[in-house]
Structure 1
Amino acid sequence: MPIDAAKALAAAPRTGEISWTPKDVQLYHLGIGAGVPATDPRELRYTLETRLHVLPSFATVAGAGAPGVIRALSLPGVDVDLARVLHGGQSLTVHRPLPAQGTATTADRIVAVYDKGTAAVLVMRTEAADAEGPLWTGDAVVHVRGEGGWGGDRGPSARTPAPTGGPDRTVERRLRGDQALLYRLSGDLNPLHADPEFAARAGFDRPVLHGLCTYGVTLKAVVDTLLDGDVTRVRSCATRFAGVAYPGETLRIRMWRGDGRVRVTVSAAERDDAPVLAGTTVDHG
Structure 2
Amino acid sequence: MPIDAAKAVAAEPRSAEIAWDHKDVQLYHLGVGAGVPATDPDELRYTLESRLHVLPSFATVAGAGMGVVGGLSAPGVEINLASVLHGGQSVTLHRPIPVRGRAVSSSRVAAVYDKGKAAVLVLRTEASDDDGPLWTSDAQIFVRGEGGFGGERGPSVRTELPDRDPDRTVERPVREDQALLYRLSGDWNPLHADPEFAKLAGFDRPILHGLCSYGITLKAVVDTLLDGDVTRVRSYGTRFAGIVFPGETLRVRMWRGDGRIQVAVTAVERDDAPVLADTLVTYA
State the TM-score, normalizing by the size of structure 2.
0.97
Deviations 1:96-117 (A, max 9, x none): 1110000000110111101111
Deviations 1:51-100 (A, max 9, x none): 101011111101224462x3321111112122211110011011111100
Alignment of 1:186-205 (within 5 A): 186-205=185-204
Matches of 1:249 and 1:83, distance apart in 2: 26
Matches of 1:270 and 1:65, distance apart in 2: 30
Alignment of 1:19-98 (within 5 A): 19-66=19-66, 68=68, 70-98=69-97
Within the alignment, does 1:153 sit opposite 2:152 as a pair? yes
Matches of 1:17 and 1:173, distance apart in 2: 35
Unaligned runs of 5+ in 2: none
Worse-superposed segment, 204-213 or 274-283: 204-213
Deviation at 1:163, TM superposition (A): 2.9
Tell me the secondary structure at the aligned position of residue 247 of structure 1: coil
Tell me the secondary structure at the aligned position of residue 38 of structure 2: coil
1:102 alignment partner in structure 2: 101
Deviations 1:231-277 (A, max 9, x none): 11111101000111111100000000100101000000000000000
Alignment-mate amino acid for residue 26 of structure 1: Q
Instruction: Indicate if the aligned counterparts of 2:238 and 2:277 stay in contact, CA closer than 8 A.
Output: yes
Matches of 2:99 and 2:142, distance apart in 1: 32
Instruction: Indicate if the aligned counterparts of 2:261 and 2:281 stay in contact, CA closer than 8 A.
Output: yes
Distance change >3 Å, CA 271–CA 33, structure 1 → 2: same
1:279 alignment partner in structure 2: 278
Alignment-mate amino acid for residue 61 of structure 2: V
Within the alignment, does 1:8 sit opposite 2:8 as a pair? yes
Unaligned runs of 5+ in 1: none
Deviation at 1:147, TM superposition (A): 1.3
Matches of 2:170 and 2:136, distance apart in 1: 28
Alignment-mate amino acid for residue 38 of structure 2: A
Tell me the secondary structure at the aligned position of residue 223 of structure 2: helix
Alignment-mate amino acid for residue 22 of structure 2: P
Matches of 1:229 and 1:82, distance apart in 2: 38
Matches of 1:207 and 1:7, distance apart in 2: 36
Alignment-mate amino acid for residue 29 of structure 2: H
Instruction: Indicate if the aligned counterparts of 1:61 and 1:67 stay in contact, CA closer than 8 A.
Output: no
Matches of 1:142 and 1:193, distance apart in 2: 18
Alignment-mate amino acid for residue 146 of structure 2: E
1:172 alignment partner in structure 2: 171
RMSD: 1.2
Matches of 2:66 and 2:197, distance apart in 1: 18
Runs of 4+ in 1 over 6 A off after TM superposition: none
Matches of 2:84 and 2:199, distance apart in 1: 14
Instruction: Indicate if the aligned counterparts of 2:67 and 2:125 stay in contact, CA closer than 8 A.
Output: no
Distance change >3 Å, CA 33–CA 170, structure 1 → 2: same
Deviation at 1:33, TM superposition (A): 0.2
Tell me the secondary structure at the aligned position of residue 63 of structure 1: helix
Matches of 1:198 and 1:6, distance apart in 2: 35
Within the alignment, does 1:137 sit opposite 2:136 as a pair? yes
The percentage of counterpart residues that share the same residue type is 74
Instruction: Indicate if the aligned counterparts of 2:67 and 2:106 stay in contact, CA closer than 8 A.
Output: no
Worse-superposed segment, 182-191 or 31-40: 182-191
